[in-house]
Amino acid sequence: MENITVIAKDIQTHWRAVQPLFLIRDEAEYDKAITTLNALIDEVGTNEQHPLYELLDTLGIVINAYETKHYPIKDCSGVEVLKFLMEEHQLKLSDLSTLGPPHIVLEILNGERDLTVTHIRTLAERFQVSPAVFV
Protein backbone atom coordinates (compact mmCIF):
# COMPACT_ATOMS: atom_id res chain seq x y z
CA MET A 1 0.00 0.00 0.00
CA GLU A 2 2.81 2.43 0.74
CA ASN A 3 4.09 2.14 -2.83
CA ILE A 4 0.69 3.17 -4.19
CA THR A 5 0.61 6.15 -1.81
CA VAL A 6 4.09 7.22 -2.85
CA ILE A 7 3.20 6.85 -6.53
CA ALA A 8 -0.05 8.81 -6.05
CA LYS A 9 1.80 11.65 -4.31
CA ASP A 10 4.42 11.69 -7.06
CA ILE A 11 1.70 11.83 -9.71
CA GLN A 12 -0.09 14.64 -7.85
CA THR A 13 3.10 16.70 -7.76
CA HIS A 14 3.63 16.33 -11.50
CA TRP A 15 -0.06 16.65 -12.30
CA ARG A 16 -0.18 20.13 -10.75
CA ALA A 17 2.55 21.18 -13.17
CA VAL A 18 0.95 19.79 -16.34
CA GLN A 19 -2.78 19.93 -15.60
CA PRO A 20 -3.16 23.52 -16.88
CA LEU A 21 -2.04 22.27 -20.30
CA PHE A 22 -5.03 19.97 -20.60
CA LEU A 23 -7.82 22.46 -19.98
CA ILE A 24 -8.25 25.57 -22.08
CA ARG A 25 -11.16 27.70 -20.90
CA ASP A 26 -10.39 31.13 -22.34
CA GLU A 27 -8.13 33.10 -24.69
CA ALA A 28 -5.39 33.60 -22.07
CA GLU A 29 -5.14 29.84 -21.49
CA TYR A 30 -5.28 29.27 -25.25
CA ASP A 31 -2.41 31.72 -25.81
CA LYS A 32 -0.39 30.00 -23.09
CA ALA A 33 -1.08 26.60 -24.65
CA ILE A 34 0.05 27.84 -28.09
CA THR A 35 3.24 29.28 -26.55
CA THR A 36 3.90 25.97 -24.81
CA LEU A 37 3.20 24.02 -28.01
CA ASN A 38 5.66 26.19 -29.94
CA ALA A 39 8.31 25.66 -27.24
CA LEU A 40 7.71 21.91 -27.40
CA ILE A 41 8.01 21.97 -31.19
CA ASP A 42 11.32 23.83 -30.82
CA GLU A 43 12.54 21.25 -28.30
CA VAL A 44 11.17 18.06 -29.83
CA GLY A 45 11.31 18.93 -33.52
CA THR A 46 10.41 15.87 -35.56
CA ASN A 47 11.96 13.36 -33.16
CA GLU A 48 9.15 10.94 -32.37
CA GLN A 49 11.47 9.20 -29.88
CA HIS A 50 11.87 12.35 -27.77
CA PRO A 51 10.46 11.92 -24.22
CA LEU A 52 8.19 14.96 -24.70
CA TYR A 53 6.82 13.92 -28.10
CA GLU A 54 3.60 12.48 -26.67
CA LEU A 55 3.06 15.62 -24.59
CA LEU A 56 3.43 17.69 -27.77
CA ASP A 57 0.96 15.43 -29.55
CA THR A 58 -1.55 15.51 -26.67
CA LEU A 59 -1.33 19.29 -26.31
CA GLY A 60 -1.97 19.58 -30.04
CA ILE A 61 -5.16 17.55 -29.60
CA VAL A 62 -6.31 19.76 -26.70
CA ILE A 63 -5.62 22.92 -28.71
CA ASN A 64 -7.42 21.45 -31.71
CA ALA A 65 -10.49 20.74 -29.56
CA TYR A 66 -10.52 24.35 -28.32
CA GLU A 67 -10.03 25.74 -31.84
CA THR A 68 -12.74 23.50 -33.26
CA LYS A 69 -15.19 24.82 -30.70
CA HIS A 70 -14.18 28.49 -30.78
CA TYR A 71 -12.77 28.95 -34.29
CA PRO A 72 -14.55 26.44 -36.47
CA ILE A 73 -13.41 26.14 -40.05
CA LYS A 74 -16.11 24.49 -42.05
CA ASP A 75 -15.12 21.73 -44.44
CA CYS A 76 -11.58 22.97 -44.90
CA SER A 77 -8.74 20.54 -45.49
CA GLY A 78 -5.12 21.08 -44.54
CA VAL A 79 -4.30 21.62 -48.20
CA GLU A 80 -7.00 24.31 -48.47
CA VAL A 81 -5.52 26.03 -45.42
CA LEU A 82 -2.10 25.86 -47.05
CA LYS A 83 -3.46 27.35 -50.29
CA PHE A 84 -5.11 30.16 -48.32
CA LEU A 85 -1.90 30.91 -46.39
CA MET A 86 0.15 30.85 -49.58
CA GLU A 87 -2.23 33.37 -51.13
CA GLU A 88 -2.26 35.56 -47.99
CA HIS A 89 1.55 35.61 -47.87
CA GLN A 90 1.92 35.80 -51.67
CA LEU A 91 4.06 32.65 -51.77
CA LYS A 92 5.12 30.63 -54.79
CA LEU A 93 5.86 26.91 -54.88
CA SER A 94 9.57 27.65 -54.59
CA ASP A 95 8.94 29.62 -51.36
CA LEU A 96 7.99 26.37 -49.65
CA SER A 97 11.25 24.55 -50.31
CA THR A 98 11.18 23.19 -46.74
CA LEU A 99 8.41 20.85 -47.95
CA GLY A 100 10.48 19.69 -50.89
CA PRO A 101 11.12 20.75 -54.47
CA PRO A 102 8.37 22.69 -56.27
CA HIS A 103 6.99 19.56 -57.98
CA ILE A 104 6.43 17.94 -54.56
CA VAL A 105 4.66 21.06 -53.27
CA LEU A 106 2.51 21.05 -56.40
CA GLU A 107 1.61 17.39 -55.83
CA ILE A 108 0.55 18.26 -52.26
CA LEU A 109 -1.55 21.20 -53.47
CA ASN A 110 -3.17 19.03 -56.16
CA GLY A 111 -4.05 16.32 -53.64
CA GLU A 112 -1.70 13.80 -55.25
CA ARG A 113 0.47 13.60 -52.13
CA ASP A 114 -0.53 13.84 -48.46
CA LEU A 115 1.01 16.22 -45.98
CA THR A 116 3.33 14.31 -43.67
CA VAL A 117 3.81 14.97 -39.95
CA THR A 118 7.10 16.68 -40.82
CA HIS A 119 5.35 18.88 -43.41
CA ILE A 120 2.66 19.81 -40.88
CA ARG A 121 5.18 20.77 -38.21
CA THR A 122 7.19 22.79 -40.71
CA LEU A 123 4.10 24.65 -41.92
CA ALA A 124 2.87 25.29 -38.37
CA GLU A 125 6.22 26.79 -37.43
CA ARG A 126 6.44 28.90 -40.58
CA PHE A 127 2.94 30.35 -40.31
CA GLN A 128 2.82 30.38 -36.48
CA VAL A 129 -0.41 28.40 -36.32
CA SER A 130 -1.46 25.24 -34.58
CA PRO A 131 -0.38 22.10 -36.43
CA ALA A 132 -3.99 20.99 -36.11
CA VAL A 133 -5.09 23.36 -38.90
CA PHE A 134 -3.26 21.18 -41.42
CA VAL A 135 -4.75 17.87 -40.27
CA dihedral 85, 87, 93, 99 (to 10 degrees): 0
The class of domain 78-134 in CATH terms is mainly alpha
Residue range 30-81, pLDDT digits in tens: 999 999 999 998 998 888 899 999 998 899 999 989 988 888 766 788 999 9
pTM score, two decimals? 0.51
Where, residue-wise, is CATH 1.10.260 in the chain? 78-134
Closest CA to 122 of 23, 45, 48: 45
The rounded percent of the chain whose pLDDT value lies above 90 is 53
Report the alpha-carbon distance of residue 68 to residue 23 in Å, rounded.
Answer: 14
Amino acid at 104: I
